[in-house]
Amino acid sequence: MSSITRTEAGGAPAPPSAKASNMPSLLLRMGVLAFIDAITIWLVYGFLADGNFFLAIVLAAVTVWLNVVFLSERYYPLRWISPGMALMALMVVYPILFTVGVSFTNYGSGHLVTKQLAIRQIEAQTYLAADSPIYSWVAYQNAAGDYLLWLTDPDTGAAFTVAPGEEPVERSGDPPAQMDGYTQIPMNQIFPHLGPLSALVFGVPPDSAFRVSQQVMGQAAQYEQKYVYDAAQDAMIDQETGAVFRNVNGTFTSDSGQTLSPGFASTRGVYNYVRLATDAGLRSTFLGVFVWTIIFATLSVLLTFSLGMFLAINFDVPEMPFKRTLRTLLLIPYTIPAFVAVPVWVGLLNPQFGVISAGIRNLLGVAPPWFSDPYWAKAGILLIQLWLGFPYMFVVITGALQTLPPDIYEAADLDGAGPWAKFRRITLPLLLITVGPLLVASFAFNFNNFTVIDLYSQGGPPIPNVPTPVGHTDILATYTYRIAFGSTGVSDYGYASAITVMIFIMLIIITMFQFRFTTMLEERGENV
């Protein structure tokens, strides 16, 4: 009765979050979060050990945020969108920030690992002291997969066995087939075991540390660590010669110019951006590619929009026979993936065997050089892009035409307006209002349309005497790809990331102007 009284007196009912916080759901949430936290801790530990600090911080922050959202009733409404937000942070925001970060480094060929990994790999190198004896070895393995070596001194005949982390045990006679739970590995089966064996240190360092030779089959010795990292000098010390290899832009380099491999990614500041802005050869190449990218994206949108609108208006006649069938047939190019359609078009345009080139040759006596001439190559790309893109515009504009009010056209007929006047003053402005944002999106897509360019000619024909590999039909996306993934065998991810950041900024600026233009169209369309 008292509870009824409190409710009637205005007491607020329990919120949905409180009702949902029953014991089974709480245990389920805690179990799932515990599983996510355990995986995150394992991943973060590995990322920190490998030097991937930023990724570790982002992953840890996202996991902490998920724990707060799902364990606190205060943030109950966020539970429904938190998985999507977490994935967006890891799959969208982090890659963008990572690309920006890489643009300030020398990440690329010779500098592909973190500093921690580079130090670890260099310190794993060994050398053989001049007075160190060389042993022949026979390998054993037990049921748990552990290894044991039987080492024999060829000069004295002395033999002993040694396992990782254990002291050597003297032996006599020939190596038996089985010993102390270990089974001898036949020599004709030893090759799959060479990798694991060479990675192990047998015995107890530093007095008795034996390693299997990676260069000479069947030899083992007390190989010693060749390089030791000195954090105070930020340098590698050669234990054999005493040479000092100091860190110079991500490469340990001696005073004589000798370098150690691998190098590692290091911060270079704004070096890549300065290089792009000050290098005359790179600047001219970049500007040329940028201008063609703008032209390609603009013409792609303009041509596909024009053809799609032309067909949509002509098919928007109620009396046209087989209208639905013809509309369906016009959608066929849209259903074929570009990686299938573009090679077909390349075959059709082949100067020797292509059907289209053969037809033009029969009419004009010569076939256009679709792939060797810069202008004809660009024309071929635009032709393919027109074929691939007009069905999308046709579908969009066909739908937009159905939304146009017929009374406007009736009023135009009463005023004596002709077909061209109605199209120019009514149809086109209203269509641009409707499809304007889609045109902006189409421009942004074609600005980075990697597939058509790469499948058609891989950016060719090539431009001679340029500092970076680039072709006449390369757009910024394909140009950046060649720099990043090294068409010449040398990759430069830092410089490519700097170009990517510049593309991103330019695309934002262009898109802002385009959206402003569509807003102006909407404001003008209110008076139509």
pLDDT tens-digit series, residues 436-469: 888 888 888 898 889 999 999 888 898 888 877 7
Residue 118 predicted with pLDDT over 50: yes
Residue 9 predicted with pLDDT over 60: no
pLDDT-derived band at 20, boundaries 50, 70, 90: very low
101-112 mean pLDDT: 89
Helix (H, G, I), strand (E, B) or coil at 456: helix
Residue 38 predicted with pLDDT over 90: yes
Residue 247 predicted with pLDDT over 90: yes
Query: Which long-range CB contacts under 8 A does 331-334 form with residues at least 24 apart?
Result: 331/391, 331/394, 331/395, 332/391, 333/387, 333/388, 333/390, 333/391, 334/388, 334/391, 334/392, 334/395
104-109 mean pLDDT: 90
Q: State how far the Cα of 168 lies from the Cα of 160, in Å rounded to an integer.
A: 6
Comparing 51-55, 65-69, 461-465, 515-519, the range with the smallest average pLDDT is 515-519
Closest CA to 518 of 407, 440, 422: 440
pLDDT-derived band at 12, boundaries 50, 70, 90: very low
- Prediction pTM value: 0.69
20-48 mean pLDDT: 84
Per the structure block, which two tokens stand in for 37?
Answer: 């936290």
Residue 199: predicted pLDDT: 83
Per the structure block, which two tokens stand in for 132?
Answer: 């160190």
- Model confidence over 277-309: pLDDT tens digits? 887 777 778 888 989 999 999 999 999 999 999
The per-residue pLDDT of the chain, averaged, comes to 85
pLDDT-derived band at 339, boundaries 50, 70, 90: confident
Q: State how far the Cα of 472 lies from the Cα of 369, in Å rounded to an integer.
A: 14
Residue 381: predicted pLDDT: 94
Residue 520: predicted pLDDT: 54
Chain centroid offset of residue 409 CA: 51
- Model confidence over 211-237: pLDDT tens digits? 888 777 788 888 788 899 999 999 999
pLDDT-derived band at 253, boundaries 50, 70, 90: very high
Comparing 320-329, 362-371, 414-423, the range with the smallest average pLDDT is 320-329
Per the structure block, which two tokens stand in for 442?
Answer: 């189409």
Q: Look up residue 318 and give its amino acid.
A: P
pLDDT-derived band at 522, boundaries 50, 70, 90: low
Contacts of 355 (CB under 8 A, 6+ apart): 348
Residue 227: predicted pLDDT: 92
Residue 487 predicted with pLDDT over 70: no
Query: Which long-range CB contacts under 8 A does 87-91 form with residues at least 24 apart?
Result: 89/58, 89/62, 90/58, 90/59, 90/62
Comparing 60-64, 100-104, 199-203, 472-476, the range with the smallest average pLDDT is 199-203
Contacts of 432 (CB under 8 A, 6+ apart): 439, 518, 521, 525
Could you give the dihedral angle defined by the CA atoms of residues 79, 84, 90 and 91, in that order, rounded to the nearest 10 degrees? 180
Closest CA to 102 of 504, 506, 493, 500: 493
